[in-house]
Structure 1
Amino acid sequence: MSLTPMSVSPVDLSATFRDAMAHVCAPVSVITTMDGDRPHGTTVSAVMSLSMDPLLVAVALAESSACLRHIRAAGTFGVNILDSAQEDVAMRFATKGDDKFDAVDWSLSADVPRITGAAVWTACTLAGVAEGGDHTILIGSVVDVETRAGAAPLTYHGRRFGTHVPLAEARR
């Protein structure tokens, strides 16, 4: 398979890039933090393991994100990688507003909101910040982590939610 370079106008390049990135499978996560006794959160698909020594994760949040402001102030955040049955939670936290936690079961753990039923949860202290165009990249030092046994993570691919299926199962 070869890729042929195309001459694309800057306006078309943005749309073409957006479409290309829709083909990259990504975990769906809700990033959480506290503002005093009030929880905040937002849905993201830009989360990655960054380092094993020290334990670091990277998360990208839009510059316009209210949650970003609260994370900078608190210095802590949680990464809740959602379970494949939590599409409704992903959609809820993808909206604007202060009532996102109203219908969501959660608890405070390691000083950050932890969404009940998440496939993976990590608590982080803010270790660094980097500019990333219209996003800010947060580097989190992992202080706690838990994986729910048997959970399948929610993923986003082709502008649809799904989950990973091992090739052996997919070929049956």
Structure 2
Amino acid sequence: MSVGHEAQPSPSVSDLFRNAFRRHPAGLAIISAAGPDGPAGILSSSVASVSLDPPALSFTISTLTSSAQIVRSADTVVVHLLDAGDLKLARTFATPGSVRFGDDMAWDYLPTGEPFLLETKAQIRCRQLGHLDVGNSSIVAAEVLGVTQDESTALPLVYSNRAFHIFHEFPIR
């Protein structure tokens, strides 16, 4: 080794993995649940369709926050799929310590007890089927019990390269 040049450590597999997914865009959703002290919610970039018969989806949550623990332990949750008009909600639920389900936010409880955000265009009520814990995360499988959606032409809101983006559709034919 020459003088003045220190060898750079090789990046870890975790660092390489994080960098690989950095530019992989993901749709966003807020997952809400009723907790013992009121409503709780988290922002998720990992909601995925699993099955159409029966309708089911999955999502991954961190096990490190109290909001995530409430969502993980709830029997039922509401998955709110976000679009470009929901950027303020996404920022609120992405910010640790932010006031969620506050007086300045349009929300209510479903007759079944789950909190839901009134301004999102698609809400999916689910019953959790099971969890698979992996490191500091938990993969949740959930059966779809009902879907409420408004007709919307809003563009999807996605997360990529550590920032929110509005997905503009340019179909490839």
CA contact (8 A) 1:32 1:67 kept: no
1:44-78 per-residue CA deviation (whole Å, 9 max, x = no partner) reads 11111111111111010001132332234431111
Aligned to 1:78: 78
1:97-153 per-residue CA deviation (whole Å, 9 max, x = no partner) reads 373111321122243222122132101111111122221011111111123212332
Map 1:46-85; keep pairs closer than 5 Å. Answer: 46-85=46-85
Quote the sequence identity (%): 26
- Measured in 1, the distance between the counterparts of 2:83 and 2:167 equals 11
TM-score where L is the length of structure 2: 0.82
Matched residue pairs, number?
Answer: 161
| Unaligned segments of structure 1, at least 5 residues | 1-7
Map 1:2-151; keep pairs closer than 5 Å. Answer: 9=10, 11-36=11-36, 38-97=38-97, 99-102=99-102, 103-109=104-110, 110-150=112-152, 151=154
- Measured in 2, the distance between the counterparts of 1:44 and 1:69 equals 14
- Structure with greater Cα Rg: 2
3-state SS of paired residue (1:86): helix
CA contact (8 A) 2:31 2:71 kept: no
Aligned to 2:5: none
Aligned to 2:168: 165
- Measured in 2, the distance between the counterparts of 1:24 and 1:98 equals 26
TM-score where L is the length of structure 1: 0.82
CA contact (8 A) 1:33 1:40 kept: yes
| Unaligned segments of structure 2, at least 5 residues | 1-8
- Which segment drifts farther, 146-155 or 48-57? 146-155
What is the CA RMSD across the aligned residues, in angstroms?
Answer: 2.2
